[in-house]
Amino acid sequence: MKIIDADNPATHPLQSWEWGEFRKTQGVKVVRFSVYQISFHRLPFLNFTVGYLPKSPFPDKKDFEKLKEIGKEQKAIFIKLEPNVEKKLSPNTYYLSPGLKIGKPLFTKYTSVIDLTPSEEEIFNSFKSKTRYNIRLAEKHGVKVQEDNSEKAFEKYLDLLFETAGRQGFYAHNKKYHRDQWKIMQPAGISHLFTATYRGKILSAFLLFTFNSVLYYPYGASTREHKELMAPTLLMWEAVKFGKSRSCTKFDLWGDTEPNPPPNHPYYGFHRFKEGFSPKLVEFVGTYDLIINPTLYKIYQIADKIRWKILRLKTKL
């Protein structure tokens, strides 16, 4: 099987070689060809898999045929695609393979991106006034931000991450998943842990990725203690400065809602927080399922709905 071409490097951390190696530690089969890295996830008690191709280019006709071939080899029911392609053109611009249908998203269809090419002063002045005020407030009260990739800091970050997920009712991977990811991505220079502390106590922590001149914000966590100090807001500003110091041109905030979400939207709070930094809202082409086995695909759809209902229930227990 052909590995990722050197002349066509991955453009997103989820298509990086390191991410593929991490996924292998979770018992996931990884197949690489051309510019694509696909993970295949075995279904419990069944001799079938589901493929996932996140944040890649949009396949052309030839690539779709190869994906189908690989899917059959891996006994996949379908392969879920979420191209890292902005929706600037009409869907007809891309080849829509037979067997391709709109799928249930794993990634949000939108993300927010901060342009890091202006000066720090210009970027800061572009933030909403309340965000600028909160940054200065955190600084005034002595909140300190630093990159801390120590084991102690990482374990504290994990505690905060699960505290945050439980508080907000979101599903989170287990700690082994995050530790295994860190062990591969951090030595490669992709993962960076930043903490915001007050009087020696970590109030907030961000795990950031740097990859191909783009800074990413995949994970964030915080405690309820000293919420009035606005530690996450200062942490985000320091992340912006870190990205500029690494010559990153963009800061991808790793997902956002559709424009103008209602206050009852489950991600409304995240959206409001990110919106304060005046990012550009980017829409992707969306999520597609490349169906390999039509009969089993219908059965899978029913089972998956039941599974997610159970997961949501567990987050509330």
Q: Which residues contact 47 (CB under 8 A, 6 or more apart)?
A: 75
The Cα diameter of the chain in Å comes to 61
- Look up the CATH number of the domain holding residue 40: 3.40.630.30
What average pLDDT does range 264-292 have in this prediction? Answer: 95
CA distance 35 to 5: 6
Question: Does residue 7 belong to any structural domain of this protein?
Answer: no
Contact predicate 281/69, CB 8 Å: no
36 and 46 fall within a common domain? yes
Question: Does residue 267 belong to any structural domain of this protein?
Answer: yes
Q: Residues 88-114: pLDDT tens digits?
A: 765 556 777 788 999 999 999 999 999
The pLDDT of residue 5? 39
Q: What is the pTM of this model?
A: 0.91
184 and 259 fall within a common domain? yes
The pLDDT of residue 6? 36
Give 259 or 169, the one with higher predicted confidence: 259
The pLDDT of residue 4? 37
For helices 231-245 and 129-140, angle between their N-to-C axes, nearest 10 degrees = 100
Reported confidence tier of residue 312, pLDDT bands at 50, 70, 90: low
**Which tokens in the block code for residue 191?**
């993962």
Question: Does residue 5 belong to any structural domain of this protein?
Answer: no
Question: What is the chain's mean pLDDT, rounded?
Answer: 92
Question: Does residue 35 belong to any structural domain of this protein?
Answer: yes
Instruction: Write the DSSP string, 53-118.
Output: EES-PPP-HHHHHHHHHHHHHTTEEEEEEE-S-BS-S-GGGS---TTEEE---SS-SEEEEEE-SS
What average pLDDT does range 225-249 have in this prediction? Answer: 98
First to last CA, the chain: 45
The pLDDT of residue 3? 33
Domain containing residue 244: 110-282
